[in-house]
Homo-oligomer: A and B are copies of this chain.
Amino acid sequence: MEITVAIDAMGGDHGAHVTVPAALEILRRDPDVNIVLVGLVEVIEAELRAHRAAVSSRLRIHPASEVVTMDDQPALALRSKKDSSMRVAVNLVKSGEANACVSAGNTGALMAISRFVLKMLPGIERPAIASVLPTLNGHTHVLDLGANVDCSAEHLLQFGIMGAMLVAAVDHKERPSVGLLNIGEEDIKGNEVVKRAAELLRASGLNFYGNVEGNDIYKGTTDVVVCDGFVGNVALKASEGLAKMIGELLKQEFKRNLLTKLAGLMATPVMNAFKKRVDPRRYNGASLLGLRGIVVKSHGGADIFAYEHAIETAVEEVRNGVLRRITEQISLLHPEQGAA
């Protein structure tokens, strides 16, 4: 199966210095993949030359004259930068020239452009951002992580379906378990939207586990955790902040005196093994779900290794038909919409 991925080569903190070598590595590793590098031709060509690479039947350059910056307002990026590398990469998905696109650019702009260009899948009202978080026994997929600040129960149901189908596709689990993030496990807990969402999920035919709490994310209680974008974003960023604080405090304690420095030296391999297990680079690549096309958002600060992972995520979603799965599952829910 040939899979073509359009890469927003200019996006992210490091632009082509990261996106181009990551794309080259994927081409080397996965013979099914073709890449379209989208952006300023001279910049991309210079980066290819630096890696002694050149365009080929599997690697082509698609010009785009503008770049969306991290500070651009999403609406402005959408309206006024019609030849941005981000917009053109998404256009290639729309036209069918690419099966997916990857960008490390401005999340809000990528969401706005993707939604405008690709439109929503039938039966899905809102797109959601799904990401993978490490757990004690593996990983879990959480959505929404910030695309929607006010969600209805129906939106949360749709997120559940999209998340389950994503896991079915990329983790090859046929009946992934779905948890609804709440502030207690009992059915009576939570606000009205969440209570109603639990009813809808229970009736959906998904493998609905019930309510989960914040700590269940890292316990890995369910394969998918569903929440509104406000809650998901806060939980994710609080986790990032806590992890950073723990790392910083440990560093301080290991640097306290000669003895602790020696202990730190001894503990280095252990710490490295630990870091590898929770390395966020291994989880890079958030899926923008609910669109009529596959769009993966890389972290803006991603390095080459992390960006490769974002490309691989896009490839897996194409290979395992995540869009078809979502569409089919939604049509089971709304037969009339599926037929439309």
Please determine whether B215 and A241 come into contact, CB atoms closer than 8 angstroms.
yes
A253 and B149 CA atoms in complex are apart in Å by 39
Cross-interface CB contact of A214 among B218, B235, B254, B262, cutoff 8 Å = B235
Known contacts A149-B191, A150-B192, A260-B269, A183 near B245 by CB under 8 Å: no
Please determine whether A230 and B274 come into contact, CB atoms closer than 8 angstroms.
no
Q: How many copies does the complex hold?
A: 2
Q: Does A24 contact B (CB under 8 A)?
A: no
Please determine whether B235 and A234 come into contact, CB atoms closer than 8 angstroms.
yes
Known contacts A135-B245, A192-B150, A250 near B237 by CB under 8 Å: no
Please determine whether A190 and B136 come into contact, CB atoms closer than 8 angstroms.
no
Binary contact track A224-247/B, C-beta < 8 Å → 1, others 0: 000101110111111111111110
Please determine whether A253 and B274 come into contact, CB atoms closer than 8 angstroms.
yes
Measured between beta carbons, the chain B residues less than 8 angstroms from A266 are 262-263, 266-267
Please determine whether A267 and B273 come into contact, CB atoms closer than 8 angstroms.
no
Measured between beta carbons, the chain B residues less than 8 angstroms from A269 are 259-260, 263
A245 and B259 CA atoms in complex are apart in Å by 27
Measured between beta carbons, the chain B residues less than 8 angstroms from A234 are 181, 183, 213-214, 227, 231, 234-235
Binary contact track A267-305/B, C-beta < 8 Å → 1, others 0: 101110110011000000000000000000000000000
Measured between beta carbons, the chain B residues less than 8 angstroms from A58 are none
Residues of A within 8 A of B (CB): 134-136, 146, 149-150, 181, 183, 189-192, 194, 213-219, 227, 229-231, 233-246, 248-250, 253-254, 256, 259-260, 262-264, 266-267, 269-271, 273-274, 277-278
**Could you list 8 A-B pairs, sorted by A, with CB under 8 Å?**
A214-B241, A215-B237, A231-B231, A234-B234, A238-B238, A254-B267, A266-B266, A266-B267
